[in-house]
Structure 1
Amino acid sequence: MKFNASIKNQFCYGIDAVIMNPSKMKDSLIVIFAIVILTIFSGCSKQEINREVNGLEVKRPNILLIVADDMGYTDIGAFGGEIDTPNIDMLASSGLSFSNFHTAPMCAVTRAMLLSGNDNHIAGMGSQDLNSQAFGYEGHLTDRIVPLPALLQKAGYHTSMVGKWHLGTAPDHLPANKGFAQSFIIPEGVANHYSDKGWLARDPVSTYLENNEPVKWKEGDYSTDVYTSKIIEYIDNNKDSDKPFFAFAAYTSPHWPLQVDEAYWKKYEGKYRDGYEVLRQNRFTSLKKLGLIAESAELPDTHESVKPWSTLSADEKLIEERKMELYAGMVDNLDVNIGRIVDYLKQTNQFENTLIVFMSDNGAAANDFYYHPYFAEFLNANYTDAYAEMGKKDSFISYGPQWAEAGSAPFRYFKGYTTQGGITSPMLISGAMVKHKGTVTKTFTSLLDIAPTFYEYAQIDYPESFLGKEVYPLKGASMASLLEQKADFLHDANYVFAMEHRHNIVVRKGDWKLVNETKPFDPQNFALYNLAEDAGEQNNLKGEYPLVYQDMLAHWQTYKLESQVQFPTPSGVSK
């Protein structure tokens, strides 16, 4: 008689529930049945089904997924940054760092892929913030996939999340209906860090929900601090329940508006006096020293929207310095809060059996909506950009493409693009099951590989159908063998990764990359790069390698058909 791990696990938890509640055993037949089942599943413990790692049986781990919002590739110390991030760096030194990890170019799109293990169109987020009846553009997680927390919850995990949801606002689309037992979230993608003051005329007050019910934000409380306290509370609620946990900390930091307490940004006062071009070069040099990029790597050309530092006035330079000081303070505060979670896990003896994943959702953000024609009227009337108020709850500041380029070094461009600067993020994985300690892997990985990894450690077989409906298979692969030093790479040279968002496309196969960054969409604008030799995407090779180019175009067509890619227009989507 053979049972898969998830079925066996449900039996174990069911038997535990009966034994822990003797009053529910109303007659001897139930007792006899329980004894028989316990005999069959004598390997069941209260908390887990064991799996074998390096010859030893280990528990199903707790899983902690931490996602920073719009954090640049080089912002943390472990990836060449000057910002003080000892707690995040500790995860790097105690685990495996991924220097070739790929996200989607925008927040909601990444979240859809992350929580589904599938393409953003199949998951329902073909275009961020576009809600449509068309396949792939529904604006919420669809029934074509199984939400990651739903499957973990079904397998006996206690599931919780805090922070940014950004995957639909209707009741059926919120976390409580996607597998999270507990949640404290902002449904939308942007929020004031100190209050519920909105940033759009149509939503002048931001909504916060706890377990799908509206709650009031306490004025003056800081977002990252609140979300950390909540996720610790949720984990603590579960610590005596004999269930492993899955906790998703989806922070809104360091996403604009740049707001943080003075105690954090003051640490960086004067550090950015030399400007964004110098910071970009310094971080690029640090990456080489750390071995994260090749010695032969070169910085790509600067985005056309970036003004040279030397052309700014003295007052403009002061404002620019303060922007980066605030941003650094937000990353610093984020690190402190991650330290709070780690300390809690250690104090409660849960740290050793917790798989921790830290990542950013996309490249650094260049947006500056305070001056954008569509947003400016509301923002100018309700916020200020005055120098003396920068960083406070009524200020609305972004750091723009100039600092985003420094955060995206050594790559080209930033959030919104499918160039490397928009879709390459640092990822760190730590935990007792991770045999690497302080090492870096350059093997290609993506968002699609995270769900399969969690499923393997949770001993879950991904189903062919869910809630009576057929679902698409996972697109990634488990990283367990890589983490446990049983493999040196994850995907071979024939593996194809592809995605599209708002006319921006990427197709990866080995070292080759096909990319489009031009609107309106026209395949004639596709460019071909060899990232092993040109990580900055400066040398378009489609004319020199026509066979490779045709092969990559064929993969694009295959992907386009499978994912039913369409293209957004002001009135909806079109083929």
Structure 2
Amino acid sequence: MKRQYLSHFYSATTLLALLSLLIFSCSKPNSPEKAPNILLIVADDLAYADLGSFGGDIETPSLDQLAKEGIRFSQYHTAPFCAVTRAMMLSGNYNHVAGMGSQDLVTGVPGYEGHLSERIIPIPELLQQAGYHTYTVGKWHLGLRPEDNPHRKGFEKSFVTLEGGANHYSSRGIFPDAPESPYTENGQKANWPEGAYSTDFYTDKLISYIESNREDKQPFFAFAAYTSPHWPLQVDEKYWEKYEGRYDEGYEVLRKKRLESLKKAGIIPSNASLPDLHPIVTPWDSLSPEEQQKEARKMELYAGMVDNLDFNVGRLVSYLKEKGLYENTLIVFVSDNGAAAEDFYYSSYFGPFLQENYTDTYEEMGQENSFISYGPQWAEAGTSPYRYFKGYTTEGGMIAPMIIAGSHVLQTNQIVDQFVTVMDLAPTFYQLADLEYPADWKGKEVKPLAGKSLLPILQEGKNEIHDSTYVFALEHRGRIMLRKGKWKLLNITAPYSEENFELYDLSVSLDEQNNVKERYPEKYEELLQEWNTYSKSVGVRTPTPRLGEGLKD
């Protein structure tokens, strides 16, 4: 009798346990065992034409392997500046909606808060609802207040520099208002480890974060926001010495070579041509031998930084494979904008501080005490075949490389030439996590997502997610663009005035050299109306600060 009673007791207990387990598993959008990990890797100011898999000349074997295992996107569009892209990336929405209407301009005007707004939900906050661990390392650049810190925006663990750039070897500041670069770990002030190199250290830190919770089997969202190859150009000699002499022919020759190598790689159309150089670029042949030597070294250092970045991406991938995590991890690699043309060492505002605290002598280039940028001349080669570079709403300022590989990518070694944007990443991650984007958050209404999931491309091989009626637009410091299908509305002229708007048909040419505003007046009026509708809906304010005036990257 006692044995029979115990038998019934254990059966009931087992049944209750099973029911509890079933209820618990159904209460989560995705069970931790099935939800994919997400690794988002962002390079800072990496140019479109750098990577080997895109036809570039820099050695990037780790990223090239990722490209073979996944998809390269040749028409991935960002914002023209770092912080603006990051706001759009982490929100899945337009920069004004996300609070970053102008980089580093902090105001009380909606759209220009200078930090993530309450009109959006940051990716890590929502992913936490699906049981994700959330980690970030590297560059934050989305607000300096304690309440803007990644620790308060959904990141469980973080080690970041709060500014738009930093010395790669020390906490020595690079901006006059921050003589010592501010770092935080998990929201608390942190010190930079003496002698550590940025990309190496951030990789170590991110791996340690993932490893700290690996045994609990919960999925993770890891955001590797590297500060490389952002200026100042600093890297150990072992990474740049292999490129010594490679760029002695100059930036104009490299630009032409990359035009052809990108064609050969299938990244750009075979009929693509080079636009006119920006007028501030000094012809290579007009430089003295000493000036040419120094210019070539700039590009060698930049290539060495990209080389080191690729090495560390390889370290992340190797770690995932060694720990059995790779098979269930979606890996997204992107850059945040076009190639960087700034050279603050000689600017009227930044120059005095930098010249007092750094050197630009040839003998010390690349070291901790050296401040070097590669300027508009090499940036033009980096954005080949597109017009101009970072800071502009031209294609050269807003087009960047993107590679997606790993879990849930069923297409391999493919090139997708359909138009996609940085705002498409958040919807992709949410669909993977089986999450619905809510209409309100923490008691406040939020704007709906402006992007679309990339999964139809990644899994089904579809050619596009945005049809010819989709509108993508952006304003920053008076420079504007609006894209609708093959048509692009553009203004890069100051002061801001609608009479300066231009119209381009990008199906004919990608170089934005032939303004067809007069030829297609009806199409121009159509896009102008789209612009007016968009600018009112997101709260664009004009006039804005004069283009590039006194603002940091």
TM-score range, shorter chain: over 0.9
Alignment pair present for 1:125 and 2:125: no
- CA contact 2:30–2:130 (8 Å) conserved in 1: no
Partner of 1:104: 79
1:22-55 deviation digits (Å, cap 9, x = unpaired): xxxxxxx99987653434466789x9439xxxxx
How do residues 177-216 of structure 1 correspond to structure 2 at under 5 angstroms?
177-216=152-191
How do residues 399-548 of structure 1 correspond to structure 2 at under 5 angstroms?
399-548=374-523
Q: Distance in 2 between matches of 1:519 and 1:400?
A: 22
Residue 464 of structure 1 aligns to which amino acid in structure 2? A
User: Which residue of 299, 316, 321 maps to 2:291?
Assistant: 316
Residue 19 of structure 2 aligns to which amino acid in structure 1? V
Q: Distance in 1 between matches of 2:514 and 2:329?
A: 43
Partner of 1:14: none
Instruction: State the 1:337 CA deviation.
Output: 0.4
Partner of 2:118: 143
- CA contact 1:100–1:443 (8 Å) conserved in 2: yes
Q: Secondary structure at the match of 2:488?
A: strand
Q: Distance in 1 between matches of 2:465 and 2:176?
A: 46
Alignment pair present for 1:327 and 2:302: yes
Instruction: State the 1:538 CA deviation.
Output: 0.4
Partner of 2:146: 171
Alignment pair present for 1:360 and 2:335: yes
Q: Secondary structure at the match of 1:555?
A: helix
Q: Indicate the larger mover: 535-544 or 427-436.
A: 427-436
Residue 151 of structure 1 aligns to which amino acid in structure 2? L
Cα pair distance change 1:473/1:384, threshold 3 Å? same
Residue 538 of structure 2 aligns to which amino acid in structure 1? S
1:71-129 deviation digits (Å, cap 9, x = unpaired): 10001001111101000111111001100000000000000000000011111000000
Q: Distance in 2 between matches of 1:33 and 1:498?
A: 55
User: Which residue of 507, 527, 536 maps to 1:561?
Assistant: 536
Partner of 2:347: 372
- CA contact 1:238–1:245 (8 Å) conserved in 2: no
User: Which residue of 26, 30, 36 maps to 1:61?
Assistant: 36
Partner of 1:38: 21
- CA contact 1:498–1:507 (8 Å) conserved in 2: yes
How do residues 268-279 of structure 1 correspond to structure 2 at under 5 angstroms?
268-279=243-254
Q: Distance in 2 between matches of 1:181 and 1:494?
A: 39
Cα pair distance change 1:332/1:42, threshold 3 Å? closer
Instruction: State the 1:486 CA deviation.
Output: 4.7
Residue 329 of structure 2 aligns to which amino acid in structure 1? T
1:332-352 deviation digits (Å, cap 9, x = unpaired): 000000000000000000001
TM-score, scaled relative to structure 2 = 0.94
Give the 4+ runs in structure 1 shifted more than 3 A: 29-37, 39-45, 47-50, 569-572
- CA contact 2:46–2:339 (8 Å) conserved in 1: yes
Residue 536 of structure 2 aligns to which amino acid in structure 1? L
- CA contact 2:37–2:329 (8 Å) conserved in 1: yes
Q: Indicate the larger mover: 294-303 or 385-394.
A: 294-303
Q: Distance in 1 between matches of 2:253 and 2:314?
A: 30
Q: Indicate the larger mover: 325-334 or 431-440.
A: 431-440
Q: Secondary structure at the match of 1:484?
A: helix
Taking only aligned residues, the RMSD between alpha carbons, in angstroms, comes to: 1.9
Q: Distance in 1 between matches of 2:382 and 2:14?
A: 62
- CA contact 2:36–2:219 (8 Å) conserved in 1: yes
- CA contact 1:498–1:506 (8 Å) conserved in 2: yes
Q: Secondary structure at the match of 1:335?
A: helix
Cα pair distance change 1:191/1:552, threshold 3 Å? same
Residue 248 of structure 1 aligns to which amino acid in structure 2? F
- CA contact 1:48–1:243 (8 Å) conserved in 2: no
Q: Secondary structure at the match of 1:115?
A: helix
Partner of 1:49: 31
How do residues 11-30 of structure 1 correspond to structure 2 at under 5 angstroms?
none
- CA contact 2:30–2:434 (8 Å) conserved in 1: no
Residue 516 of structure 1 aligns to which amino acid in structure 2? N
5+ long unaligned stretches in structure 2: 1-11
TM-score, scaled relative to structure 1 = 0.91
1:147-168 deviation digits (Å, cap 9, x = unpaired): 1110001221000000000000
Alignment pair present for 1:236 and 2:211: yes
Partner of 2:7: none
